[in-house]
């Protein structure tokens, strides 16, 4: 049985809130610096070549670096037109659609995955970009 989409949104929001609280530096615990958030938005928009997105909010961020390379995950809330632009840009970049709104970039030295969360009739959706590399 599939979980209702709103339950997935709530779970994602809680996980992302915890990640924001713990991992993004700020003046106070749990307070992200605006310049870091802006850099993360620019990174994703530039990587996917999407210029039409406005009112995008970072809802989660994680980056780990070790001797084997790095792993980064960025999660965003955005208007539906932006979410659809991200989907189109991913397909244009060569991402292949999988199950549950996930898109993966095959045959790439650095693994990339885009996961899109939407609900019919909603004004906003969410997307998560995950990548690994050296």
Domain spans in the chain, listed from the N-terminal domain onward: 5-133
- pTM, two decimals, is 0.70
Once rounded to an integer, what is the mean pLDDT over residues 65-88? 90
Q: Is the pLDDT of residue 55 over 50?
A: yes
Tokens of 128: 């998560």
Once rounded to an integer, what is the mean pLDDT over residues 102-127? 90
Predicted local confidence at residue 110, as pLDDT: 77
Predicted local confidence at residue 3, as pLDDT: 52
Once rounded to an integer, what is the mean pLDDT over residues 107-115? 86
Residue 95 has, within 13 A of its CA and on its CB side, a CA count of 26
Angle between helices 34-48 and 80-93 (to 10 degrees): 50
Q: At residue 30, what are phi and psi to the nearest 5 degrees?
A: 85, 0
Residue 56 to residue 125: CA distance in whole angstroms: 10
Radius of gyration, alpha carbons of the chain: 15
Q: Which of 20-24, 56-60, 76-80 has the lowest mean pLDDT?
A: 20-24
């Amino acid at each position: 049985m599939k979980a209702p989409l709103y339950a997935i949104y709530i779970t994602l929001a809680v996980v992302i809130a915890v990640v924001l609280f713990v991992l993004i530096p700020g003046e106070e615990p749990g307070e992200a610096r605006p310049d870091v958030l802006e850099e993360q938005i620019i990174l994703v928009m530039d990587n996917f070549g999407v210029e039409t997105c406005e009112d995008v909010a970072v809802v989660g961020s994680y980056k780990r670096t070790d001797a084997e390379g790095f792993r980064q995950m960025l999660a965003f809330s955005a208007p539906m037109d932006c979410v659809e632009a991200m989907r189109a840009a991913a397909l244009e970049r060569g991402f292949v659609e999988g199950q549950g709104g996930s898109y993966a970039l095959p045959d790439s030295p650095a693994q990339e995955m885009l996961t899109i969360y939407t609900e019919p009739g909603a004004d906003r959706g969410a997307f998560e970009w995950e990548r690994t590399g050296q």
